[in-house]
A and B are shown apart, each in its own frame.
Chain A
Amino acid sequence: MKTDTIQLAHGGGGRLSRDLIQTEILPRFGQGPLRDLPDGASLDLPDSRVVFTTDSFVVRPLEFPGGNIGNLAVHGTVNDLAVCGASPLWLSLGLILEEGLPMPLLRRVLDTIRDSCSACGVGIATGDIKVVEQGRCDGMYVNTAGIGTRMPGFTLSPGRIRAGDSVIVSGNIADHGMAVLAVRDNLGFKDGPSSDSGPVHRLVSAIQDIAPSIRFMRDPTRGGLAAVVNEMASGLPVDVRIREADVPSDPRTRAVAEMLGLDLFHVASEGRVVAVCDPAVTAEVIDRWRKLSEGSAAGCIGTVTAGSGRVVIETLAGGTRLLDVPAGELLPRIC
């Protein structure tokens, strides 16, 4: 009998498990090392200096404007490799599925993973599927680990940041977090924000030849721009001054943040990169990023000054305030 939802037996290692892999996994990902389903992948890497990372993805709802948990899982790991100055090559894919998950939804997610991998030029080298009882997970969880090889020239570390440096962001901030929150809370927006989930590795490649002038890069995911900028300034004899008026954002994202009383600086992006660079290359970095579609809204948002590890916002009202890391869960405010 053909079932259209995930059963516990799909993770049991028996016939249903095999069927699931034969019909859903191999047709999408079986071209390379996965073909004969070995227990582990043997990979030939072009360079011995590799970067290795892992990330787990949990999002509710699983599908949202601009993407689903699948492209999030690919881009998240690809981007972690890219901001370390690495070219992403291979990913692993671990799926934890909840009993009762609709098969069409799983197929849509797997299709998205396949398409995102091919757009990023990475392959799935190894994987695993487990199924848990209904109520034990939110539909599905995804884990990806990734391997990439170092791009020559990049020596990225917050320790290299110095007074006078520029802070650049590759595009509108906070679109992903606001898109997910807007659909989660059933706010009924007709033309709400759309997630920016996307890869940043092309942005990094585009500045490879000026790599020595790039001090540090990070993707502003959980905790948003606030967390990233605080993390880089903390413990250093510098302050980062951000000009609020120069930080790019989408009007739809701003409108939802306004309604929910949230600070855009605390909200996640999933396809952006923040870079600190030598002021001499600021215009060059922005120019190259703007030539790529994912960098079309890139701009310089602030500068590094001598200081004591603080992040200072020059606000739209012409005042200044310290920008803190978010306290925890983003909760809509009523007052």
Chain B
Amino acid sequence: MRYIDKFRDPKAAAQIRDSISLLCRQLEEGGRTLRIMEVCGSHTMAISRYGIRSVLGPTVRLISGPGCPVCVTTPGYIDAAIELARTGALILSFGDLLNVPGSMLTLAQARSQGLGVETCYSPLTALEIAARDRKRQVVFLGIGFETTVGPVIAMVDRAHREGIRNLSVLTAFKRVPPVLHALVTDPELKIDAFLLPAHVSAIIGEKPYQVLAERYGKSCVIAGFEPLDILYGINGILQQALSNQVRVDNQYNRVVKPAGNQRASRLIEMYLQPSVADWRGIGQIPFSGYELREQWSAFDAPRRFDMVVPEGHVNPGCRCGDVLRGVSTPPDCPLFGKACMPSQPVGPCMVSSEGTCAAYYRYERPGVKPE
């Protein structure tokens, strides 16, 4: 904790805040606006938790990106998990997936109906439970970006080596570079710069982002999740913008190495192959997911239980795709604050407690006074 505290030092924060204020003023005097997408859900949470929006000038906007793997989980995936629980399988899930709406129910509601749904912090818990009770099918809900894929695949690897055959994974893994590619190739996109994820980059390295700067002219900074990391990241983006430069800076070099984590990458490569993936509120994006290779299909829950993950039902009025691209703001959506609220979210931007829509609902909807 003492190590972390260094990245929360209020004195250092005050200095970098002054620098950001100065850069924001220069940008404003130059008549320029800047839209920065923070790609990762952990950045979104930290920005909100540390009140970082309040230190920016009026012409700099932070837009939350698609980088919360829980929030972009489709209703069909939740439906499939509940379906598996109904067959008597024990479902093990990361905690925050429990409140994500399926077509009819959330996993928390399914649990309250008596179905076997448990939360865990580490995939190894699923392995232990499966090893203890070999008669019961255990299904781990494998969601997450490159960061989380590693530990889940390490679990599969151990189950394979230890001969544990009653454990499988319902995968909805997501890959960051393809979704960023889908965003930047969108002619409507209104994003000038990217604050790039810390932990994902620790796995994949810097290289996959180069194309964002070189071909699409977006300023990019890889930043950690501590308040000082984020402030430095934003400062770096402002400096790039004011000097009309675009490049990928790595502010998080205490963890992110240019080539990423090769060992994790090799393990992923051995078990998984890129596949098309479904994103709640965005739709299908080619190569933006991972699926288990054919030879490991025994660990793939849909193939083991001979089921198809349904499409599920999402309210067609949901405009999260536009909000994520910076094209619309939440109040433009016909569902905002009516059919879609934090207590009954429809799209990913409301599912995440700090998603763009949830934050708008809390702080900026009519009748709520801004700070």
Contacts and interface: CB of A to CB of B under 8 A. Distances in A.
A266 to B, nearest CB: 11
Interface stretch (A125-133, A137-145, A201-209, A324-332): A324-332
B68 interface: yes
Given A187-B121, A261-B96, A322-B363, 17 more contacts: A258-B1, A308-B369, A315-B50, A315-B227, A316-B13, A317-B17, A317-B55, A317-B231, A321-B48, A324-B362, A327-B353, A328-B99, A331-B119, A332-B94, A332-B121, A333-B94, A335-B42
Interface string A311-325: 011111111111010
Contacts of A335: 40-42, 67-71, 96, 144-145, 148
B50 A319 contact: yes
B215 interface: no
Interface in A241-271: 245, 251-252, 254-255, 258-261, 263
Interface residues of B, number: 50
Nearest to B151: A334
Contacts of B125: 186
A316 B41 CA distance: 20
B69 A332 contact: no
A36 interface: no
28 contacts: A185-B121, A186-B125, A252-B1, A254-B1, A258-B1, A310-B369, A312-B371, A316-B10, A316-B50, A316-B227, A317-B55, A318-B10, A319-B50, A320-B54, A321-B50, A322-B362, A322-B371, A324-B362, A327-B342, A327-B353, A331-B95, A332-B94, A332-B96, A332-B119, A333-B95, A335-B42, A335-B67, A335-B145
Nearest to A253: B1
Interface string A13-34: 0000000000000000000000
B53 interface: yes
B228 A317 contact: yes
Contacts of B335: none
A327 B96 CA distance: 12
A255 B4 CA distance: 9
Contacts of B96: 261, 331-335
Nearest to B67: A335
B32 interface: no
B2 A319 contact: no
Interface of B: 1-2, 4, 8, 10, 13-14, 17, 40-42, 45, 48-55, 67-71, 94-96, 98-99, 108, 119-121, 125, 143-145, 148, 227-228, 230-231, 342-343, 353, 362-363, 369, 371
Contacts of B13: 316-318
A251 B54 contact: no
Contacts of B231: 317
A267 to B, nearest CB: 14
Interface string A163-177: 000000000000000
A53 B183 CA distance: 57
Interface of A: 185-187, 245, 251-252, 254-255, 258-261, 263, 308, 310, 312-322, 324, 327-329, 331-335
A254 B50 CA distance: 15
B145 to A, nearest CB: 7
A322 B52 CA distance: 12
A317 B144 CA distance: 28
Nearest to B42: A335
Nearest to A309: B369
A255 B1 contact: yes
Given A334-B69, A335-B96, A185 B120 contact: yes
A329 B111 CA distance: 13
Nearest to A249: B1
A324 B69 CA distance: 24
Contact of B70 (A251, A260, A327, A334): A334
A311 to B, nearest CB: 11
A313 B120 CA distance: 31
A263 B353 CA distance: 12
Contacts of B94: 332-334
A263 B17 CA distance: 23
A312 B363 CA distance: 12
A137 to B, nearest CB: 15
A111 B117 CA distance: 35
Nearest to B56: A319
A193 B63 CA distance: 36
A234 B1 CA distance: 34
Contacts of A318: 10, 13-14, 17, 55
Nearest to A259: B121
B48 A331 contact: no
Contacts of B55: 317-319
B298 to A, nearest CB: 25
A318 B54 CA distance: 9
Contacts of A245: 10
A146 B76 CA distance: 50
Contacts of B342: 327
A254 B177 CA distance: 32
